[in-house]
Amino acid sequence: MSKVRHNPWGNVFKELWLRVVNTFNSIPFIAFFGAGILFVGGVGIWLPYLSAIISGEKNASFLESTNVFTYSFAILGTLCVDIILNNQRTTKDFLSLGIIFGVIALGCCVVGYLTTKTGSSILLNLGTLLTLVIFICANVNDEKFDNNITQADLGPTGYREADLSKIKDGEGHE
């Protein structure tokens, strides 16, 4: 008898879409990503450029390949360690898709760096952008980015108080 596998693509793309939407629905995550990952984590990218501009260098490169490569490699490495230590936050199919795109991002970064060691590499920047998207998808649903309302604060209906005017029977009557 042949084995018939369930087609996971619909669920994977639905999960991906929900995570992208959750990115914009969480002000704490936007703050964490903008301030922590881009600003503080990316200091090795923007600070050398800013220093070069301040010191008057004419040929300063904003997305210098070495700096962008180490930034992207550090994020991908951190995501790999997170997968090894704790992979219970996501479905196996979604995790597998993340690994596939992580390998693609790493490949883009390595090839982009090896072909353009000084200056800015489009392929490396594309790999880094993909790395950041993977980071967002891997971390946006973390509970630390949820609002402060816990299930204990809510009643059995899932709300703080039941609104009797909104309770209707199966026919739509009150």
31 token code pair = 């703050």
**Using CB atoms within 10 A of its CB, is residue 10 exposed (0-12), middle (13-18) or buried (19+)?**
exposed
Q: Is the pLDDT of residue 66 over 70?
A: yes
Structural domain that includes position 111: 26-144
Is there a domain that residue 3 lies in? no
44 token code pair = 């090795």
Is there a domain that residue 116 lies in? yes
Q: For the chain, what is the domain count?
A: 1
Is there a domain that residue 36 lies in? yes
Q: Could you tell me which of 16, 4, 17 has the C-alpha nearest to residue 93?
A: 16
104 token code pair = 């693609």
Q: Cβ(113)–Cβ(121) under 8 Å?
A: yes
Q: Cβ(105)–Cβ(158) under 8 Å?
A: no
Query: Whole-angstrom Cα distance, residue 70 to residue 63?
Result: 12
- DSSP states of 127-157: HHHHHHHHHHHHHTT-GGGS-S--GGGS-TT
Q: Is the pLDDT of residue 89 over 70?
A: no
pLDDT digits (tens, 9 = 90+) for 5-58: 888 888 888 989 999 999 999 999 999 999 999 999 999 999 999 998 899 888
Is there a domain that residue 157 lies in? no
66 token code pair = 């070495």
pLDDT digits (tens, 9 = 90+) for 92-142: 888 888 899 999 999 999 999 999 998 899 999 999 999 999 999 999 988
pLDDT at 127: 97
pLDDT at 131: 96
pLDDT at 161: 66
Residues 6+ apart with CB under 8 A from 52: 60
88 token code pair = 């219970």
Q: Cβ(120)–Cβ(63) under 8 Å?
A: yes
pLDDT at 148: 64
Query: Whole-angstrom Cα distance, residue 16 to residue 2?
Result: 30
Is there a domain that residue 65 lies in? yes
Residue with more model confidence, 97 or 170: 97
Is there a domain that residue 6 lies in? no
Q: Is the pLDDT of residue 155 over 60?
A: no
Is there a domain that residue 1 lies in? no
Is there a domain that residue 173 lies in? no
Across residues 82-98, what is the average pLDDT?
Answer: 77
Q: In the block, which residue shows the tokens 């009557």?
A: 173
